[in-house]
Structure 1
C-alpha cells in the first residue's frame, strides 16, 4: 500500500471516531456533564491529530510521483 493510501485510510478512521465522540458528548450534555466533557476533550485531541494528518496528506500530494 502506498503511503498516501495509508494516510487517507487512517484519516478516515480517525474522522469516524471523532464524529462518534462529538455525538456522544452531545448526547451526554443534559444527563451527565462530566462524561460529556470527557468525550469532548477526547474529540478535541483527535481533531488535533486529524489536523496533523491533513497537513501530512496535503504535503504528500504536492510531490510528483515517479
Structure 2
C-alpha cells in the first residue's frame, strides 16, 4: 500500500506543477510567445509522466486487489 500512496503523492505534486505551467503558458501567450511555448512543452512532458503514473497506480491497485 505504501507504494500506491507514494505514487499518489507524486501524482498530486506533478499535477499541481502541470497546472502552474499551463497557467504560465496562457499568461505568456500575449507577451512572449517563446516563453509560452516552453511552458506548454514542459507541461506536456509532465502530462506524459502523469499518464505513466496513472497507469502504474492502476497496475499496482489491480495486483493488490487480486
TM bin (shorter chain): over 0.9
Alignment pair present for 1:22 and 2:5: no
**Cα RMSD (Å):** 1.2
Aligned partner of 1:6 in structure 2 is: 6
Provide the C-alpha distance between the structure 2 equivalents of 1:27 and 1:58, rounded to a whole number of angstroms: 34
CA deviation profile, 1:7-38 (whole Å, cap 9, x unmatched): 00000000000000000000000000000000
**1:4 CA drift (Å):** 0.5
The structure richer in helix per residue is 2
Q: CA deviation at 1:64?
A: 2.7
TM-score, structure 2 normalization = 0.93
Match of 1:38 in 2: 38
CA distance in structure 2 between the aligned counterparts of 1:3 and 1:42, rounded to whole angstroms: 26
CA distance in structure 1 between the partners assigned to 2:50 and 2:60 by the alignment: 15
